[in-house]
Chains A and B, each alone.
Chain A
Amino acid sequence: MNQVLEVSNLHKAFGGIKAVNGVSFSVNEGEILGIIGPNGCGKSTLFNCILGQLEPTEGSVKLDGLDVTNMRPSELNRLGVSRTFQLLQVFPELSVRENLILAGQEHEGSMLSRLFGARDAGLTEKAEQMIGFFKLGHLADAKAGGLSYGQQKLLDAAMAFMAGPRLVLLDEPAGGVNLTMLGDLKERLRAINAEQGATFVVIEHNMDFVMSLCSRVIVLAEGKVLAEGTPAEVRADPAVIEAYLGH
């Protein structure tokens, strides 16, 4: 099976604090990999280093064998890597539809064609599909800033999928989302994974969500990989129980 993402010996230090301390792992095509660990264990820093938002102190990141360490986030996105953020990151003054068009517009044509071409960059139909898929149909014209927290989380996820990415890194997608919406979100992610073969890496604290969605889980503690395996293996690992899951 193809390795989509390969992270090797990644380090990130902030002064004397080693937020990420020699993390290595790989993600296979079509896989849903979960990353769990206590608060402050370096999960989000790891994402930010992979995605070019932070410069790693050491180590490398490869996408389909291509070294993308320190590549700019916008370039990485255009190579098919998308993400969601732990905190809400929609564009509050734009409508739901406009948020989605924005999420896809830079993947088509050139700068000049975006200036002189269609206002919607030919993406209205695709945006409507995503709106329907993520059950946001009645909110298409609403300003994103006026949506509930859970709805904004769905929009955030929908934006990440707008350009048909190969690899999506989801940072706590379930955080603050109610049970009904959580079910919707999980169902949507599974469908995209199955139908489009998209590969996911998911950071999450909600254990039920991770264990039921992911085929493999990595546990981080103090910036290092503590354990790795199937959800069942990880759940039974004494070191993981001690450091994170509890008895």
Chain B
Amino acid sequence: MTAPATRSDLSPSPRLTRLPGLGMIDGTFLTLAIGAAILWFAPVGMGRYGTYVLSLWLVMSIAVMGLNLTLGYAGLKSLAQAAFMGLGAYTTAILTTKFGISWYAAFALSGLLTFAVGILLGFPALRVKAHYLAFVTLAFSTLIWLILRNEQWLTGGVFGISNINRPDFFGIKLFGALEFHRFVVVVTFILAVALWWLIRSPWGRAFTALRENPIRAASLGIDTRAYTLLAFAIGSAYAGFAGALYAPLVEFIDPSPFSLSQSFFLLLMVVAGGAGYLLGPFVGALLGVVLPEWLRFAGSLYLIIFAAIVMLLLIACPQGVSGLMERGWAKITGKRGDAR
């Protein structure tokens, strides 16, 4: 499941686009910045639904980014990313609608709560790796879904929570689809840059070591327990952040988007986009969120076509679209590319 995730973002110099005077900036950062600028203007003339799909793509990208850290970089298999997203979405919805707390505080608390739950849930992963965590997260996913559906006094049960307000931004109302989309672009950009920073730091190197060879990593002084917990908790917090944005985006939430099948779908997005590639989640979420929209002309067949495309992609390139792009780039330039 774990792709080899060759990562030039860890290599000190040769493949980086270093700009004089801007030291730390590289090709990945530039791609994120240019992408954010394009997405700022992209919805112009697209209408409400088109804008909503673009925003949804970015929100899902945040959740996939978190899972990419957990799985793609640190090699930990989690089946609860959608449950963490649900935890974030419901925390934000409950705090803003029932307690009148500002969205920004709710956003931070959603991240903190999912981080803390991630730490607690990560402990079993320290005993036996890989499969144990997968089973624990499987159980957690089911538990969260049952709570969301059955604890009607808190979550509204199957009726969900409606009238979730969108936040203001320094007095600017974000009620319109375009305004909120631009807000989502900014938040996504900040979270993507934070992850870019993390992955390039010694922490990112330690996460990779955890994935590739935890025994050797421990023998080199790497605290595998701390890094395992951190990778899982930070990845879960990203799902919490995604949920905190998702709730005001859709303005109504119920348990269905946070089920186990959605967690599998997020896993699919990580792998299809390219596990261990920093930009992979955007590609994966594009495949998962936007491609089905483009295939709607095929009527009821669109999900079958979508599944077939993903299967063919993974047969042709198990490293996902990012891996495919890297291979293509390597052929063009005759050396390893910087597709991440």
> What is the interface of chain A, defined by CB distance below 8 A to chain B?
51, 53, 72-74, 77-78, 82-83, 85, 89-95, 97-98, 101-103, 105-107, 111, 114-117, 119-121, 124, 141, 143, 159, 162-163
A141 to B205, CA, bound (A): 15
- Among B14, B198, B205, B215, which residue has its beta carbon within 8 angstroms of that of A105? B205
Interface positions, chain B 174-198, Cβ under 8 Å from A, are 198
Query: Contacts A102-B222, A106-B223 given; 4 further ones with Cβ under 8 A?
Result: A74-B224, A95-B11, A106-B206, A119-B202
| B12 & A124 in contact (Cβ 8 Å cutoff) | yes
Give the complex CA separation of A120 and B10 in angstroms.
9
Q: Which residue of A lies closest to B336 (CB)?
A: A143
Question: A141 with B11: in contact, given A74-B218, A114-B203, A115-B198 (CB under 8 Å)?
Answer: yes
Instruction: Indicate with 1 or 0, residue by residue over B12-34, a CB within 8 angstroms of chain A CB atoms.
Output: 10100000000000000000000
Q: State which of A72, A102, A159, A163 has its C-beta within 8 Å of the C-beta of B218.
A: A72
Interface centre among A92, A115, A163 (most CB of B within 10 A): A115
Interface SS majority for chain B: helix
**B4 touching A94, Cβ below 8 Å:** no
Q: Which residue of B lies closest to A141 (CB)?
A: B14
Q: Please name the residue on chain B nearest to A53 by beta carbon.
A: B215
CB pair B215–A120 under 8 Å, yes or no, is no
Residue pair B7, A102 in contact (C-beta under 8 Å) = no
In the complex, are the beta carbons of B220 and A101 less than 8 A apart? no
CB-nearest residue of chain B to A114: B202
- Taking the complex as formed, is B5 at the interface, i.e. its CB lies under 8 A from any CB of chain A? yes
The contact sample of 22 A-B pairs, CB cut-off 8 A, is A73-B219, A74-B217, A74-B219, A74-B223, A82-B219, A83-B219, A85-B216, A89-B216, A92-B212, A94-B10, A95-B10, A97-B11, A97-B12, A98-B12, A102-B202, A102-B205, A103-B220, A105-B205, A106-B222, A115-B202, A117-B202, A124-B12
Nearest residue (CB) in A for B6 is: A93
The answer, yes or no, to whether B208 is at the interface (CB within 8 Å) is yes
Instruction: For the complex formed, measure the closest distance between the CB of A102 and the CB atoms of chain B, giving whole angstroms.
Output: 5
Choose one: A102, A115, A121; the contact of B209 (CB below 8 Å): A102
Q: Is B330 engaged at the interface, CB distance under 8 Å to the other chain?
A: no
Instruction: Determine whether B200 belongs to the interface, using a CB cutoff of 8 Å to chain A.
Output: yes
Interchain CA distance A83-B215 in the complex, whole Å? 11
Q: Specify which chain B residues have a CB less than 8 angstroms from the CB of A106 in the assembled complex.
A: 202, 206, 220-223
B251 to chain A, nearest CB (A): 36
Taking a contact as CB atoms under 8 Å apart, the answer to whether B221 and A120 are in contact is no
State in angstroms the CA–CA spacing of A97 and B14 once bound together.
12
A102 touches B206 (CB 8 A): yes
Q: Are A143 and B12 closer than 8 Å at their CB atoms?
A: no
Chain B interfacial residues counted at CB < 8 A: 30
> Once the chains bind, are B208 and A105 in contact (CB under 8 Å)?
no
Cα(A103)–Cα(B216), bound, Å:
10
Give B222-240 interface residues, CB cut-off 8 Å to A. 222-224, 226
Q: Does B163 contact A (CB under 8 A)?
A: no
| B208 / chain A contacts, CB cutoff of 8 Å | 91, 93-94
Report B-chain residues with C-beta under 8 Å of the C-beta of A90: 216
B213 at the interface (CB under 8 A from A): yes
Closest 3 A-B residue pairs measured CB to CB? A77-B221, A106-B221, A89-B216
Contact across chains for A93 and B202 when beta carbons are under 8 A apart: no
CB pair A119–B200 under 8 Å, yes or no, is yes
Q: Are B219 and A111 in contact (CB under 8 A)?
A: no
Q: Does B150 contact A (CB under 8 A)?
A: no
Q: Which residues of A contact B6 (CB under 8 A)?
A: 93, 143
Residues B202 and A77 in contact, CB atoms below 8 Å apart: no
In the complex with contacts A91-B212, A94-B10, A111-B226 CB distance below 8 A: yes
Which of A90, A95, A117 has the most chain B CB within a 10 Å cutoff?
A95
Chain B's nearest CB lies how many Å from the CB of A88? 9
Q: Which residue of A lies closest to B220 (CB)?
A: A103
> A115 with B5: in contact, given A74-B222, A93-B208, A106-B220 (CB under 8 Å)?
no
Cα of A30 to Cα of B140 in the assembled complex, Å:
53
Residues of B within 8 A of A51 (CB): 219
In the assembled complex, the CB of B233 is this many whole angstroms from the nearest CB of chain A, namely 13
Give the Cβ gap from A70 to chain B, nearest Cβ, in Å.
Answer: 14
> Which residues of chain B are near A120, meaning CB under 8 Å?
12
Contacts of B206 in A (CB 8 A): 102, 105-106, 114
Asked if residues A93 and B12 are in contact (CB atoms below 8 Å), the reply is no
Docked-complex contact B216 and A115, CB < 8 angstroms: no
Alpha-carbon separation in the docked complex, A162 to B14 (Å):
23
Residue of B nearest to A113 (CB): B202
A51 to B218, CA, bound (A): 10
Residue of B nearest to A156 (CB): B216
CB of B201 within 8 A of CB of A159, answer no
In the assembled complex, the CB of B274 is this many whole angstroms from the nearest CB of chain A, namely 14
Contact of A119 among B201, B217, B219, B222 (CB under 8 A): B201
> Which of A51, A77, A97 gathers most chain B CB within 10 Å?
A77
B7 touches A93 (CB 8 A): yes
Q: How far is the CA of A244 from the CA of B319 in the complex (A)?
A: 48
> Would A91 and B216 count as touching, CB distance under 8 A?
yes
Task: Point out the residues of chain A lying under 8 angstroms from B216, CB to CB.
Answer: 85, 89-91
Partner of A159, one of B4, B5, B220: B220
Pick the most buried of A111, A114, A115, A119: most chain B CB atoms within 10 A of its CB: A119
Closest Cβ–Cβ distance, residue A161 to chain B (whole Å): 11
Q: Contact: A93 with B4, CB < 8 Å?
A: yes
| Max chain B C-beta neighbours (<10 A), residue from A93, A94, A97 | A93
